[in-house]
Amino acid sequence: MKIMHVDASAKRERSNSRALSRYFLERLCEERVDLEVDYLDVTVDTPPHVTEAFAIATYTPTGERTAAMNATLAASDALCKRLLAADALVFAMPMYNWSMPSAFKAYIDSVTRTGLTYVNSEDGHTVGQLVRQKVLFITSRGADLRAGSPYESMDALTPALKAAFGFLGVAEPTFVDAQPLQFANPEARAEALERARTELVEVAANWAKQVHATADALTADTNNEVMTLCQE
């Protein structure tokens, strides 16, 4: 399985979201999923902010773009290609000021591309192209924003991610939100991390089950073909 793994925390060794995304990939390996990982750290390779040149080039039909426009879009084209090539997407990030880190927003601005990650249908609708990918968002939050908490209504991260990737065709993303990790006592933080790890074990088992079932079905198909050939 080809996984696009994206980290977005400004922290490195101390980062909880980075640790949790690594933990998830380790669980997939334990589940004997054959992984090919395409890794992107958007705090190191940060996609550029939208510029005027980008805004014009991206909405110019492919055949009408100048060489300069193509050059402006080249890095974004490459990011879209990587996204579309993946079978599964793992995005890990902290909550910053109730939403996503700006480096991850820059990534979304780079991969939301007409004609690539979504297309315009003849009846005037847009059709997202990320329909076959499994998608997991791992988020880390300092406060507890779960239902019933006084911060519940402040969660602008979950709806923003759902909207951006829903537009690209991701219908049912999985969320594992570790919270509270900062504005709480040590016991509550430890519990939050343990809860997140337990959820990640479940998601890994679920993904592995699907991957192995698909592999079994392919093997059965191939065996059937071989048997048919032998009978002919």
Q: Any contact of residue 141 with ligand FMN (CB under 6 A)?
A: yes
Binding residue for ligand FMN (CB under 6 A) from 69, 87, 102, 142?
Answer: 142
* x/- map, 49-88, ligand FMN, by CB under 6 A: ----------------------------------------
The pair of three-digit structure tokens given for residue 120, joined into one six-digit string: 């315009």
Binding residue for ligand FMN (CB under 6 A) from 27, 76, 89, 94?
Answer: 94
| 15 known member of a binding site | yes
**16 or 112, CB closer to ligand FMN?**
16
For residues 13-32, which are near ligand FMN according to CB under 6 A?
A: 15-18
Beta carbon of residue 173, minimum distance to ligand FMN (angstroms, whole number):
19
| 149 known member of a binding site | no
State the Cα–Cα distance between residues 158 and 99, nearest whole angstrom. Answer: 8
Q: Pick the closest to residue 209 from 86, 2, 28, 26 (CA basis).
A: 28
Q: Any contact of residue 2 with ligand FMN (CB under 6 A)?
A: no
Binding residue for ligand FMN (CB under 6 A) from 54, 91, 96, 118?
Answer: 96
**9 or 58, CB closer to ligand FMN?**
9
For residues 145-204, which are near ligand FMN according to CB under 6 A?
A: 181-182
Number of residues near ligand FMN (by CB under 6 A): 17
Residue 36's alpha-carbon distances to 20, 25, 110, 227, in angstroms, are 18, 11, 23, 32
Binding-site residues from annotation: 9, 15-17
Binding-site residues from annotation for FMN: 9, 15-17
Binding site for ligand FMN (CB under 6 A): 9, 11, 15-18, 94-98, 140-143, 181-182
